[in-house]
Amino acid sequence: MELFKIKRDIPFMSYGKLTTFISLVTFIAAVFFLVTKGLNFSVEFTGGTVMEVQYQQGADVNKVRQRLDTLKLGDVQVQALGTNKHIMIRLPNKEGVPSAQLSNNVMDLLKQDTSDTITLRQVEFIGPQVGEELVNNGLLALSMVVIGIIIYLSVRFEWRFAVAAIIANMHDVIIILGFFAFFQWEFSLTVLAGILAVLGYSVNESVVVFDRIRENFRKPHMRNKTVPQIIDNAITATMSRTAITHGSTEAMVLSMLIFGGAALHGFSLALTIGILFGIYSSVLVASPLLLMFGLNRDNLAKQQKQKEEVVV
């Protein structure tokens, strides 16, 4: 199925140096913000108090948030759980104030100026040690995904393809983290899940483009074409598929971002940024890197010969 068909190949590789330079600048900027500003970790990572409060008639989330801001606790998160009758409140730790006392202060404050019946359904205290454990487990999960992708690409493709794809994927992850560091958006477990999803999504796009490049090298009518022309043809041929898959996925993710509420905001935000930069990196980062690594017909011929010898 094709949404459209482009008759002439678009000369993407003629802009390869420019796009690589832009990617390098954005990558350095993302690393700079990560180092200087750091990530704004959520309560799950830093420790704090998570409260689930029930209103009999319903609550105005914005008013609850404004009310809690008077306690001057810092970054307090308030979100509705399905309906505005069930509210989840995340409070950071406050030095010198026990968590139990903090939750009592919150309940006393919420019960003021309202005739509605408010019930504390659940309260959880997350210590700094638990938060540190979640950070370590999150980094471990991210590392395992990266290692798995490296192994998969190394087995399936010639090493130049594998290295280019890994660099492009790491580019996407660092850019997402850079956005969260620059704007100081909250980095929660759902954001980490979004980053892991972006890794798999981005590598899938790179594999599709690389497969078409490898096939083009074997086609008889492509023998007189240069390597940049072969890559341009592969990218142009997959643009219709890219528009359909990424367009439909981005529409779904944007709907979650707009209508999903606070519970899905971090996850959908990470996916939105990751999908956009995933398209860019697969086409305008990974492919130019193949040229920088010296990809030619001899590389693929040697790999094919080695595979045939192994099979024999």
φ and ψ of 187, to 5 deg: -100, 105
User: In terms of pLDDT, which residue wins out, 99 or 62?
Assistant: 62
Give the pLDDT band of residue 9 (cuts 50, 70, 90): confident
**Residue 97 gets which letter from DSSP?**
B
Per-residue model confidence (pLDDT) at position 48: 81
Q: Tell me the pairing of strands 40-41 and 186-187.
A: parallel
Contact by Cβ (8 Å): 167, 286: yes
Predicted TM-score of the model (pTM): 0.79
Alpha-carbon distance of 265 to 272, in angstroms, equals 10
CATH architecture of 48-125: 2-Layer Sandwich (3.30)
- Length of the chain counted residue by residue: 312
User: In terms of pLDDT, which residue wins out, 26 or 307?
Assistant: 26
Sheet with strand 118-126: strands edge to edge: 77-81, 83-92, 48-55, 118-126
Asked if pLDDT for residue 70 goes beyond 70, the answer is: yes
Q: Where are the domains of the chain?
A: 12-40+131-300, 48-125
Give the pLDDT band of residue 26 (cuts 50, 70, 90): very high
Contact by Cβ (8 Å): 11, 233: no
Q: Mean of the pLDDT values across residues 224-252?
A: 87
φ and ψ of 55, to 5 deg: -105, 140
Residues 39-63: tens digit of each pLDDT = 888 877 777 888 888 888 888 888 8
Mean pLDDT of the chain: 83
Q: Which CATH class for the 12-40+131-300 domain? A: mainly alpha
Alpha-carbon distance of 294 to 291, in angstroms, equals 5
Question: Which amino acid would we find at residue 78?
Answer: V
Q: Which residue has the tokens 């477990």?
A: 189
Query: Which residue(s) pair with 41 in the sheet?
Result: 187
Per-residue model confidence (pLDDT) at position 179: 94
* Closest-CA residue to 296 (of 229, 209, 250, 220): 229
Question: Which amino acid would we find at residue 238?
Answer: T
CA distances from residue 17 to 11, 12, 289 in whole angstroms, order as listed = 13, 10, 10
